[in-house]
Each structure stands twice: as C-alpha cells, then as structure tokens.
Structure 1
Amino acid sequence: MTLTVNDSLSIGNLNLKNRLIMAPLQQYMGTPDAFAVDHHIEHYGRRARHVGLVILESTAVSANGRLWKNDIGIFTDQHVKPLMKITATIHAHQTPVFIQLSHGGRKSSPDVTNSLVAPSAIAFDDYYGIPEPLSLAGIERIIEEYRLAAKRSIEAGFDGIEIHAAHGFLIHQFLSPLSNTRSDAYGGSSENRARFLKEVLMAIREEVGSDYPVIVRISATDYCEGGLTPEEWARMLKPLESELDAIHVSSGGLLPIQPSDVYTAYQLPHAAAIKQHFKIPVIAVGKIYTRSLANRILEDQLADGIAIGRPLLEDPDYAERLLIS
C-alpha cells in the first residue's frame, strides 16, 4: 500500500486523521505575564481545520524560564483558562492539540528572567550572559515545575505534551557536552547528561499516566564538532522509548551557529538517521513544503509524520491545498 500524507497516524493511543502536523512557532503575542490572548485563539483555530495535529508554540513551565518577554506560559493556575479557549477552538475542528513545554535555561529572556540558570556556567552569548549552575535542589524544583505544567495541560484540554529538548534551551543544554560540563550525576556520560530529560519525562508521566501522549522535540545536531549527533541522541533516547510516543527531529540552537546551507528538507537526513533506531513515530520538519516531497518521505519510510510551520503562518489554508494538490 502506498503511504501518503493523507493517511492516518497513531501517536500513542491518539489517532491522527492525517500525517500533516502544524509545527510549534512563536507568535510573540503573549501578555507581559505570559497569558494567551484572543490572537492565539484566532490564529490556531484558523489553521486547525485540515492538519492532523496542532502543536502549540513553546509554553513556559517557569516564570524564570520564559524564552521571550511576549511568549506564553503555564506556570500558574491562572494561565489555564486562556489556554482552554485555544484548545476548545482547535477541538471544534475535530483536530487534537499538543502543548510544547519549555524552559529556556541560559537562553531565557533577560527582559523577564530574574535568575538565569543552566547546567554549567557557560554563556550562550554576551546578550544572555553567564548563567548560574543549577544546584540539585534547583534541578528538583524545575522538574516539579514540569510536573505541575503537565497537570495544568490536562486541565486546559490538551491532548498531549511535547517536551522541548531542542534549540539550545534547558533540556538541550543538559544533553549536550558543549553546554554541560558537570561532574555529578547530571554530567559526563551520555546516561548522566540524559538524566534531567529522563526525570522530567518521568515526572510528567507520573502526572498524566501511561496512556497520555508525550513526545519530545530534539535538535539532532549542534552543528559543531564535539556536539550532539543523531547517533548520540539514539543512545540517550533509546532507554526512554517505552515512555515516549514520538520523536520530533529539528536541529541547532545550542550555539550561535547557523547551518551552512538551509535547503529543501535539510533536516530530513537527521530524522531518517534517528528513525533507524526506534519503533515509535519520527516526525520530520524543515522546508518540506510540497505534497510530492512529503509523500516520497513517507513512502521511503524516512519519517512517519511531516511538520510544517512557516507556510502556515503566511497562509492559513496551506495545509488544505497540500493535502489535495
């Protein structure tokens, strides 16, 4: 049977009507206190009609972990109600929606962050400055913030959670040896560097149970020698596969380095390399903008789902045309 982007896809116990996923892209429209607004309701509702899944933009689990001064958060109970309006609007189109939970670590916005933290005292750049290395108590506190965010995510009506372990934010900082030089149980070996992700994942699982979809977004490469590679990611994620429902493969962001060439489907080789090691679905993202290309990727079993972002920002009906053209 020929596989196409129109075919259904199961992520855990959730069945998607097609394999097209709205990737998480920031709207920069949150209030100073990180509340979602009417813009988010209209934006996501308008684009939810035809995709199989919506993944909400990065949503902060901590007041000190916001990525931008105008992002949105879920770090208080008061944040739940505005998010409920977004999920209700998306559900009106019979489309499920995941929330992407994040903490910026050393890349948290200086405009709204009182305490810049990271696994090690290594700055991303001069703009952000040198972070304070997290103590064990600090690590435990952030893990608890993820657990509470997961609890609120269910209350807000989300159908699943994406753990943001990509683009140089806190979990990614723990995972990469370029940003993690710790000598305790959270640094050194691949197993130790993956410990923070594992404990965040298990805290979320404790709150949501085994049947609730939880996926992870990763940066497959740091674009720098000595950084993470798909093979290293496979070693770190394989022990966690039974607790995950999909892997969403992006790249970069740990360092102020850009890929040398951003071409059509430029991140696909990383997704394909990751997929070789896992039975759970792998989602490819990055300039996959035509139906023919998406179908070829699926048919060749290089990935199981296709995420698109920027075309949907520019044209809310883009997914409809991709599915029928």
Structure 2
Amino acid sequence: MSLTFTPFDLGPVRLKNRLVMAPMQQYRGAPDGSATAYHPLHYGRCAEGGIGLIVVESTAVASNGRLFKDDIGLYADRHVAPLRAVTDAVHAHGVPVFVQLSHGGRKSHPPPGERLLAPSALAFDGDYGVPASMTPQDIAAAVQDFADAARRAVAAGFDGLELHAAHGYLIHQFLSPLSNRRDDAYGGCGAGRARFAREVAEAVRAAVGPGFPLSLRVSASDYVESGLTPALVTEAVEALQPCGIVAVHVSSGGLLPVPPAHSRPGYQLDWARQIREACGLPVIAVGGLHRRSLIESALADGQADLIAIGRPILERPDFMTDKLASVAFDG
C-alpha cells in the first residue's frame, strides 16, 4: 500500500495525503503588499491538482520585512480580504491551506524611510547593506508584528500557520551564532539565541488561540563550521514545543551566500530524520523529492512524515493527481 496517498493529521487538520505544496515566492504582490487576482487563480489551480496541503508563499509580517518588493503581506488589515479570496479558492477543492509568516531581517527590502534590521549589525552581502542591530524596542515590535499577522491570517480563513525560521531570515538570524553576536538576553547561548523565536511563537499562540496548527520551517545547516546543526535546531524546536508546534519543516542554508556541497535529490533527508527522532514531532521533508520511489522510502524509513514539493507543481499543478502519479513520480 502506498504511504504517499494515506491521510495524515496535523493537529485538528486532516490531510488527504502526505504531499505538501512548498511555499514558493510568486513575485506577483501589489506594491502595497496585497495579494492580487493572480493568487486565488494560482493556488486554486494547485489545489485542484490533488495536493494534501498548500502552504502559501512567504508572507511579510512587517513592511520593512518584505523579502522582495513584490511580496505579499499580512501587516495591514487591507491584506485580509485579498487573502480570503485565496483561502476560498483552495477550500473549494477540499484542501487545507497554511500561510508562511516571515520577516526578512537583514535580507529584507524595506521601503524608503524604513530601516534594515537584524539581531547584529552584520551584512548578508554587499548588495543588502549593513543592518541596524535591533534594540529591545525593535524586538518587541517584531514579536507584535508576528502576532498581529497571525490574527489576520485567522481572519483570512487559513487553516494553520508556518513560522519561517529558515533560509537566513530574521528568526534564523537570531538562532544562528554566525549572525547573532548579541551579548544580551537574545544572544550568547542557545537558549538566548532561541528567545526571539520562543517569544514569537508564544505571541502567535496567544493571538490564534489553542488548537490552531503552528508549524515551523528551519534550516538544519548553515553549510559552514560554527553554524547551525540538527542538534542546535532541535534545541530551538524543543524550546518552542510548549507553544503547540505540530510539525517541523526541515530545509537548510540561506544564512550566508554559501551553496550546499551537494544538492542531489533527498540531500536534506538525513537532517530531517535526525530532527524527527530528536524532537518527536512530525517532520516535513523537502529538497528534490520528486520521484515516487524516493518519497515512499523516506516515509517508510521514518525520515519524514510529509513531503513538500515546490517547482514541479509550479510547472504542472496536476503533478499530484492519482491518475498521473505513476508518470509524475517515476518519469
């Protein structure tokens, strides 16, 4: 029996299969951060293709935290109605939909007059520039931004949230010793570096209430010595578990302009397995997992509970349908 097409529960949300549409930037947001007419059409078409769960692209919690100038956001009430059109389009096909909430930190494109912020005044590269080290007031404001965006996500009809703590964005920047050189309560040891993530998760949980599913996307490796490892990430995940995290979405990299040494299909599976075994939470694996045989073995061997797929679905939204599964997964 195929594990791929068996149901799975993320808290109170039942998925009809183990396949997740990974959050992928669409670069189609309005200048004010609103979703456009493109988004319900795009996500509705992807839901029609037979996926178990859709995670909407990285959605900014603050205007100074947009990853790109055409990102969508949930940092203002005006963003709720356009995203309600997205959730309605996905729900019309019986598919649950989460939204990924993010703040880019030093990898943001803030509008004129707003500051580039990060845990420490360390640039990602010469293009982004040197960020300002966040003050306690800046940190408190960012935590509130996540909570406010979460509240709007509930109003927009999302079934759950994914907190983006990967790919070199703000929460990741706090977690990694390579980007967090603070000597206050938000730096130093692992518990200090995880404090911002914990406060965000606590504030989000308070905003959405008990039982609403929260997942966490992490980077299991920074690809350089002295950076994040699965063990360090597990410590951070465990600090957030009291907030009711229902799944960990395991990716890697993004903190530094350093590529992975290998990016073969399934290259992140061992990291996913390590985190799954250590923290005891369901894990979403991602990274070149496009062949049915590889997906089945990852699920059967306990490397992951769910499999996220990105680019193939963008190219072919019906990639996951049962009638095409044998072609799509084995071609």
TM-score, length-scaled by structure 1? 0.97
Give the CA deviation at 1:322: 8.3
Work out the CA distance in 2 between the residues paired with 1:239 and 1:33: 35
Work out the CA distance in 2 between the residues paired with 1:278 and 1:120: 29
How big is the alpha-carbon RMSD for the aligned residues of Structure 1 and Structure 2? 1.3
How many residues of Structure 1 are paired with residues of Structure 2 in the alignment?
Answer: 324
Work out the CA distance in 2 between the residues paired with 1:247 and 1:323: 29
Quote the residue 2:92 is aligned against.
92
**4+ runs deviating over 3 angstroms:** 110-113, 321-324
Offset from partner CA, 1:12-31 (integer Å, 9 cap, x none): 12111111000000000111
Work out the CA distance in 2 between the residues paired with 1:321 and 1:108: 39
Contact 2:164/2:171, CA 8 A, preserved across alignment? yes
Superposed, 1:171-186 pairs within 5 Å as 171-186=171-186
Contact 1:67/1:103, CA 8 A, preserved across alignment? yes
Quote the residue 1:263 is aligned against.
264
Identity value in percent: 51
Give the CA deviation at 1:316: 0.9
> Given the superposition, is the C-alpha separation of residues 228 and 322 from structure 1 closer, same or farther in structure 2, using an over 3 Å criterion?
farther
Which residue identity lines up with residue 214 of structure 1 in the other structure? L
Superposed, 1:134-153 pairs within 5 Å as 134-153=134-153
Superposed, 1:223-302 pairs within 5 Å as 223-242=223-242, 243-302=244-303
Quote the residue 1:189 is aligned against.
189
Give the CA deviation at 1:324: 3.5
1:307 aligns with 2:308: yes
Give the CA deviation at 1:69: 0.5
Give the CA deviation at 1:34: 1.1
Which residue identity lines up with residue 40 of structure 2 in the other structure? I
Offset from partner CA, 1:210-261 (integer Å, 9 cap, x none): 2000000001000011000001111221132232110000000000000122
Superposed, 1:25-174 pairs within 5 Å as 25-49=24-48, 50-109=50-109, 114-174=114-174
Contact 1:60/1:66, CA 8 A, preserved across alignment? yes
> Given the superposition, is the C-alpha separation of residues 112 and 30 from structure 1 closer, same or farther in structure 2, using an over 3 Å criterion?
farther
Give the CA deviation at 1:113: 7.3
Offset from partner CA, 1:56-94 (integer Å, 9 cap, x none): 000000001000001100100000000000000000000
Quote the residue 1:4 is aligned against.
3
TM-score, length-scaled by structure 2? 0.95
Where does structure 2 lack aligned partners over 5 or more consecutive residues?
327-331
Quote the residue 2:329 is aligned against.
none
Contact 1:124/1:255, CA 8 A, preserved across alignment? yes
Contact 1:106/1:124, CA 8 A, preserved across alignment? yes
Give the CA deviation at 1:300: 0.7
Work out the CA distance in 1 between the residues paired with 2:240 and 2:73: 26
Give the CA deviation at 1:143: 0.5
Quote the residue 1:13 is aligned against.
12
